[in-house]
Structure 1
Amino acid sequence: MNIAARNVGETGKAARLGFENVVHRYGADDVVRNVSLTANPGEVLCLLGPSGSGKSTLLRIAAGLEVPTRGRLLINGIEVSGPSVFLPPERRGVGLMFQDFALFPHMTVASNVAFGLTATPKPMRAQVVDDALARVGLMGYGEKYPHMLSGGEQQRVALARAVAPQPSVLLMDEPFSGLDSRLKDQVRAETLAVLRETGATVIIVTHDPEEAMGMADQIALLKDGELVQAGPPHMLFKQPANLFAASFFSETNVLDVSVEAGKVDLPFATLTAPAGFSDGKATAAIRHSDVRLRNEGRGDAAKAHILQRLYLGRSEHFVLQIDGLIQPLHARISAGHIAENAESVFVEVANTAILLFEKRP
């Protein structure tokens, strides 16, 4: 395997990173299957999917920790990993932030941040470290040790270490998974602000759809090693490519329906199928949060018997039985909108909130 002879990522300048028909195999199993995907300069791309979907493998290929079985990895259009080329990780201009932060316990915070500054002249390193710590709100923490810090503070040290060398691409593997749930929102917001300030191209691996929605410019949704759909968060949510994509971002009612003469009749709506949609068996998907409940009926509302009602603080979860539906319908609404002693309610669902998918053989 030839070794490329030059660096491709320019320090302090965001790069474009592309996966081109990437396949990766462990033994006889393909864990990544023909994925083509681009992270644009200065954007945050989230690799999203359940465990085993191939997202961490793609990140390791980008970092140079794995070599693709087939296909190519390109940075700024230059092949850095492929059939005949492999550029070592340290010459890609790529930074990596690990899931467990990977801080050295015997080293001070300042020494941890300085660890990756091998290309920075020694007289300048102290200032670069101070600037990086200030950027993440930890000025004055340089002489502390990791065990003296909270989980959120350790995460910020790891972030400071990752951004200090000014990588052209920053790779982050489940960076918030080890944090207390109460801290996650705050730390995510702080991290995103730092990432926007650096201007680097960022690829984040996550299994949390809410995290991806809140941080990403682009989301790549993966399943079983294949790219299901890629695009801006609002597109994946509003125009999911299939039932898996529709259900991944929120709890969803999945209903077996029939399309006849281009129409689908439901107890609470009559839906027109998209152009080119075949008559016959199909699947309708309705997110729990898109079901509206009322104490009194109006218009096309369907009467439903309350099978179960769970109070969840700010919201309530209802399980409902509606004549004409085989499966119970689930709804999640703001608490307090339905009378406490109610045994039945009226259901409304906007036509635009009903997603229709053809049955696959």
Structure 2
Amino acid sequence: MNLQALNLGASGTAARLRFEHIRHGYGGRDVVRDVSLTAFPGRVLCLLGPSGSGKSTLLRIAAGLEVPRGGRLLINDVEVSGPHAFLPPEQRGVGLMFQDFALFPHMTVGANVAFGLTHLSKASRQAAAGEALARVGLAGYEGKYPHMLSGGEQQRVALARAVAPKPSVLLMDEPFSGLDSRLKDQVRADTLSVLRETGATVVIVTHDPEEAMGMADQIALLKDGELVQTGSARDLFLHPGSVFAASFFSEINRFEAVARNGLVETPFGTRRAPENVTAGELTLAVRFSDIRVATVEQPGTVPASVIDRRYLGTSEHLTLALEEGGATVEASIGAGMLAEGISRVFLFVVEDAILMFEKQP
């Protein structure tokens, strides 16, 4: 089958990847439910969600490792998986990178990177492998073996192998989960730089919101097989569409409240109800980091007692009891902002920082 004729994109040319009403499951249980989503050329899309949300299943469908029960997968508007067509993985122009790196231990680094370049001559394979390794900062590593490398270096070899064929779409399944936490930030930054340089359309599966926010142009948040919300990191953080979305990107305090005549009584004073809600039960969410703590009472503050405080280096975590109503509140403040020994404080939350959602039945 001629991929160029199907307009799937030439090697090294980013392609648009589109999921249309994808449904899939195992046995009698659906794990992906009617997901429609587009990964745009030259951009990074992160599939984000807890374990069991369906993100890895979507990635496997995109790779051609799973056949969906319903819906279609299209690359550059060509159906590659669905009711009318199914292209095997090797015909999709898609690169894969798994969380365990999947390097062949008996092969050199150069041979690992050149493994998928069988369509090239031996000399061209070696040249392409060397170019890919240089791109990830491992020039001269061709003769080493995987066991001779650190975890971060193995990850970069896996990345080099994935980008060497110049795929139009690159799929990455939890690519940093096996790395030491101290390495992750640098390796992620290096990887993002390489991905931007290649220009490929990238889909990354992760359960780490910080990772998604740091790498993605677009985030697709999933829960129980359903698409909860999509948008940029800023959009999802500042304008979460549900309590689940708010809690996934930051630690939050939750409160129940009732809207009456367009107003809501919150633990931090009376606030305006959301524009689309004039009356009814609400769930409120306030991020730990959005609670301001002062030692002097000011207009709009509410008194609270410090129950517990934990020093975390650059920040401190406070557990507080509100004097009115007795609700417990968690707050995160900069280390050193509150003197030792203080037991009574005054809390303030700006109006926009109190997120309000209609209570779910």
Same fold (TM over 0.5): yes
Aligned to 1:171: 171
Q: Does 1:118 align with 2:109?
A: no
Cα deviation, residue 267, structure 1: 4.0
Matching of residues 159-238 of structure 1 within 5 Å: 159-238=159-238
TM-score between the two structures when normalised by the length of structure 2: 0.97
Deviates more, 1:199-208 or 1:336-345: 336-345
Aligned to 1:306: 306
Aligned to 2:253: 253
Aligned to 2:19: 19
Q: Does 1:292 align with 2:284?
A: no
AA at the equivalent of 1:230: T
Matching of residues 252-271 of structure 1 within 5 Å: 252-271=252-271
Cα deviation, residue 122, structure 1: 3.0
Paired with 1:19 and 1:278, the residues of 2 have a C-alpha distance of 37
Paired with 1:30 and 1:266, the residues of 2 have a C-alpha distance of 39
Paired with 2:46 and 2:12, the residues of 1 have a C-alpha distance of 21
Paired with 2:232 and 2:325, the residues of 1 have a C-alpha distance of 34
Deviates more, 1:29-38 or 1:266-275: 266-275
Paired with 1:120 and 1:71, the residues of 2 have a C-alpha distance of 35
Cα separation, partners in 2 of 1:331 and 1:78, compared to 1, 3 Å: same
AA at the equivalent of 2:57: T
AA at the equivalent of 2:21: N
Cα separation, partners in 2 of 1:243 and 1:326, compared to 1, 3 Å: farther
Residues 168-201 of structure 1: CA distance to partner in whole angstroms, max 9, x if unpaired?
A: 0000000000000000000000000000000000
AA at the equivalent of 1:306: V
Cα deviation, residue 119, structure 1: 2.5
Aligned to 2:64: 64
TM-score between the two structures when normalised by the length of structure 1: 0.97
Q: Does 1:339 align with 2:339?
A: yes
Aligned to 1:128: 128
AA at the equivalent of 2:175: P
Contact 1:252–1:285, Cα closer than 8 Å, also in 2: yes
* Structure 1 portions without partners, runs of 5+: none
Cα deviation, residue 17, structure 1: 0.1
Deviates more, 1:82-91 or 1:66-75: 82-91
Aligned to 2:40: 40
Aligned to 1:106: 106
AA at the equivalent of 1:192: L
Paired with 1:236 and 1:159, the residues of 2 have a C-alpha distance of 28
* Structure 2 portions without partners, runs of 5+: none
Deviates more, 1:346-355 or 1:263-272: 263-272
Contact 2:263–2:278, Cα closer than 8 Å, also in 1: no
Contact 2:206–2:212, Cα closer than 8 Å, also in 1: yes
Name segments (4+ residues, structure 1) moved above 6 Å: none
Deviates more, 1:105-114 or 1:4-13: 4-13
Residues 53-97 of structure 1: CA distance to partner in whole angstroms, max 9, x if unpaired?
A: 000000000000000000000000000000121001011000000
Cα separation, partners in 2 of 1:165 and 1:279, compared to 1, 3 Å: same
Contact 1:16–1:75, Cα closer than 8 Å, also in 2: yes
Cα deviation, residue 234, structure 1: 0.5
Paired with 1:187 and 1:9, the residues of 2 have a C-alpha distance of 29
Cα deviation, residue 298, structure 1: 1.1
Cα deviation, residue 5, structure 1: 5.7
Q: How many residues align?
A: 358
Q: Does 1:239 align with 2:239?
A: yes
Q: Does 1:97 align with 2:97?
A: yes
Paired with 2:351 and 2:297, the residues of 1 have a C-alpha distance of 17
Paired with 2:161 and 2:194, the residues of 1 have a C-alpha distance of 12
SS in 1 for 2:10: coil
Cα deviation, residue 265, structure 1: 2.2
Contact 1:303–1:344, Cα closer than 8 Å, also in 2: yes
Residues 99-141 of structure 1: CA distance to partner in whole angstroms, max 9, x if unpaired?
A: 1000000000000000011233333111111110000000011
Deviates more, 1:59-68 or 1:124-133: 124-133
AA at the equivalent of 2:215: M
Paired with 2:153 and 2:269, the residues of 1 have a C-alpha distance of 51
AA at the equivalent of 1:194: V
Cα deviation, residue 312, structure 1: 1.1
Cα deviation, residue 266, structure 1: 2.5
Contact 2:32–2:225, Cα closer than 8 Å, also in 1: yes
Paired with 2:169 and 2:150, the residues of 1 have a C-alpha distance of 27
Q: Does 1:153 align with 2:153?
A: yes
Contact 2:304–2:320, Cα closer than 8 Å, also in 1: yes
Cα deviation, residue 276, structure 1: 2.0
Cα deviation, residue 303, structure 1: 0.8
SS in 2 for 1:352: helix
AA at the equivalent of 2:174: E
Deviates more, 1:309-318 or 1:30-39: 309-318
Paired with 1:137 and 1:312, the residues of 2 have a C-alpha distance of 34
Paired with 2:113 and 2:81, the residues of 1 have a C-alpha distance of 28
